[in-house]
Amino acid sequence: PGVLAAAEPSLAQGRTFDAYHDRHGENVAVIGSGLASRLGISTLETAPAVFVGDRAFTVIGIVDDVQRKADLLLSVVVPRTTAEEIWGGPQSGERAKMLISTDLGAARQIASEAALALDPAHPDHFKVVPPPDPKTLRGSVTSDLNQLFMLLAGICLVIGAVGIANTTLVAVLERTGEIGLRRALGARGRHITVQFLAESGALGALGGLVGTSLGTVTVVVMAVHREWTPVIHPATVVSAPLVGLATGVLAGLYPAWRASRIQPAEALRR
């Protein structure tokens, strides 16, 4: 139970090998539809042949659907006895392979029973490789994606911090006269520092708020389009503007410090 079928190819036309071909080692072949198209073979009525090296093989079948072995569409398959006669047996270490198709969710159970079902006397002659567990695979992919998104978010954060620092520094240079006037009227260096830190922090918080809003809207729209249930953690929505605020304050430290060092007399002369 659970086994659907071995992954056998279906033929577009012709036939596959039988016991007669295996027993007598005839020079016949079954080729993939992709290879047949490249070679211009569209019918088997004329008994077309393909050459492998200097050996001619009569094409008796064309494979049209291979389900899970797409490489067979560009391959030439010959009987086992013919291959052993011409090229010898499998090289050391090479083993025959079989692909088994199962019902959804039955792969691991079939993997644990396949070797015993194939040869109860010698199940150790077989090596069964089950597909990866979907939950484990999904968790691994999700973890990799999260790390990638965190890296991208970090890069965007650095770029945003540089932009805020540059904007604030330009504002300091353009408002030198204003800074000098405030200093002349009694403002201290810490007042100037707080002013520019507040401005850079506001820029960072505004950027975080806009980015959070766009991200939330994108998640909801995509979820509705895919008929999914949107899941957004409240901590993520709340923390993003705070992270933007902190980034803006850190980015404005140097421009604010530079603004606080401007002397009133020098600023008014400018």
pLDDT tens-digit series, residues 22-62: 666 678 888 888 888 888 888 888 888 999 888 899 888 88
Instruction: Note whether 22 and 68 are same-domain residues.
Output: yes
Beta pairing, strands 28-32 & 76-77: antiparallel
Instruction: Note whether 21 and 148 are same-domain residues.
Output: no
- Nearest-5° Cα angle at 128, 125 to 130: 175
In the numeric block, the tokens 């959804």 are attached to 104
What is residue 62's three-state secondary structure?
strand
Instruction: Note whether 46 and 157 are same-domain residues.
Output: no
Asked if 50 and 77 count as a contact pair (C-beta separation under 8 A), the reply is no
Instruction: Note whether 149 and 217 are same-domain residues.
Output: yes
Instruction: Note whether 138 and 264 are same-domain residues.
Output: yes
Mean pLDDT taken over the chain: 82
Residue-range definition of the domain harbouring residue 228:
134-269
Instruction: Note whether 48 and 91 are same-domain residues.
Output: yes
Take residue 133 and report the two structure tokens written for it.
Answer: 């567990």
User: CA torsion sign, 36 to 40 to 44 to 47?
Assistant: negative
Instruction: Note whether 81 and 177 are same-domain residues.
Output: no
- Residue 4: pLDDT over 50: no
How many domains does the chain contain in total?
Answer: 2
Take residue 218 and report the two structure tokens written for it.
Answer: 């994108």
Instruction: Note whether 106 and 227 are same-domain residues.
Output: no
Instruction: Note whether 117 and 167 are same-domain residues.
Output: no
Instruction: Note whether 181 and 66 are same-domain residues.
Output: no
**Domain final position from 125, 149, 167:** 125
- Residue 7: pLDDT over 60: no
Query: 218-244, pLDDT tens digit by residue?
Result: 989 988 888 888 888 888 888 888 998
**Domain final position from 125, 146, 173:** 125
Query: 152-178, pLDDT tens digit by residue?
Result: 888 988 998 899 899 888 888 888 888
**Domain final position from 92, 125, 158:** 125
Instruction: Note whether 159 and 61 are same-domain residues.
Output: no
Give the whole-number percent of the chain exceeding pLDDT 70: 89
Instruction: Note whether 78 and 162 are same-domain residues.
Output: no
